[in-house]
Amino acid sequence: MTLDTRIFVLGKVEPHEVFRFCRDLLGAADRHAFSDRQDTTWREGESFVEPGNPWTISNNPGQGLPAWLMLYYRPDEPLRTPEQAAEHDMDCNLPESGDYVEEWGPCDGERHRRACWLTVSFDTAYGYRDERGYGCGDLHAEYIAKLGQWLDERRVRWEWMNEFTGEVHTGYSRLIDLASGGFEASAWFRTSVLPVIQAETGGTR
């Protein structure tokens, strides 16, 4: 099982620049391969690329990096407009298991995908532990905070989703819900993130 944390970048930004920054967060080097290709559509047992399909930049899995990095985008346009996010699709009225339940009822929009310019995904095994004592939640909290600060410097709005709860948050104050303790105890958190959280919450946590 893995923790898949999503960051929704709401403002316009160059996708490949975001991807390079995130690769640096992971400690990726030139030897760590990645792909950048348009997504395929599967229909009636066949796969093909349609002109309107989004693109995915992704580190190749199994290279020993702390997270599998994926970035979803469309060249020179939003990944998903508010109008597109409001549309129903074949999966939006299904429970998290993906199994159809007739009693689930009509879709109320809660399960629709987010409107955003692009989406970043960090995916790490639940059993992850590094030399700092960070678990997967601590690691992802650090990645969110560092990417968030990078986006803030460029005045680009962003949100992130806690996969444990399914809740979407803005800012840094709820990162503590994701972390297990190592991130919160680190000197970097106390000097770089905690002051921002205190400003967001009026000095309380």
Q: 147-189 pLDDT, tens per residue?
A: 999 999 999 999 999 998 889 999 999 999 998 888 988 999 9
CB contact set of 102 (below 8 Å; sequence gap of 6+): none
What does the pLDDT look like over 40-66, one tens digit per residue?
A: 887 777 777 788 889 999 999 999 999
pTM of the model: 0.85
Q: What is the mean pLDDT of residues 10-15?
A: 97
Comparison of pLDDT for 193 and 97, the residue scoring more = 193
> Which helix (DSSP H) or strand (DSSP E) does residue 37 occupy?
strand 34-38
| Mean predicted lDDT score pLDDT of the chain | 87
CB atoms within 10 A of CB 95: 10
